[in-house]
Amino acid sequence: MLELLRDNPIAAVIVLCEVGLWVMVGAGLVLRYLMRSRRTSTVVLAAIPLLDLVLVVAVALDLNRGTPVSSIHGLGAVYLGFSVAFGPALVRWADVRFAHRFAGGPRPVKVPKHGPERRRHLWREWYRVVNAAAIASVTLLGLAWLFTNGDQHLYGYIQGLWMLVGIWLVAGPLWELGKRSE
């Protein structure tokens, strides 16, 4: 693993962005609930998308300097899409749990295993996946057009992303709808 990170700077940037995400979420929540500094906490949490900007700039610079297109460049765009689409929900999820654990907040509400609220939850998750795939697809197209002279390698990720969207649709919301009719 260390060899992969050493030999591939984009892999290292992806790992650093993921670690940075959790550090910033943790710092923001500590500032909010333990240090009682809501304004500073809001600034820290609002700065999380800067990590995504760092990642996309790093991928673009790597491709611009002539590095051959690899799977890790595609993974960077996919990570960006999922980070942007799921990031706010992840921060809300962590916020509720942190508030409950350290600030006397209410117990987190669990998603029911059945029923209309479960279906709404699954549809919201699927819409996030669609959003993530759209963001990643636009990013992949932009990287391919601007920095790779149309290298086909990045286009394969777009097809895979939309296959994932279809699988998620069938395995998530549609599966739950099918269970309801049983």
Q: What's residue 156's pLDDT?
A: 87
Predicted TM-score of the model (pTM): 0.89
For the chain, the domain total comes to: 1
Domain span holding position 7: 2-180
DSSP SS3 for 10: helix
DSSP SS3 for 165: helix
Percent helix, strand and coil across the chain, each rounded to 5?
80, 0, 20
Instruction: Determine the average pLDDT of the residues in 79-104.
Output: 96
> What are φ and ψ of residue 136, in 5° steps?
-65, -40
Residue-wise pLDDT tens digits, 15-57: 999 999 999 999 999 999 999 999 999 999 999 999 999 999 9
> What are φ and ψ of residue 65, in 5° steps?
-80, 0
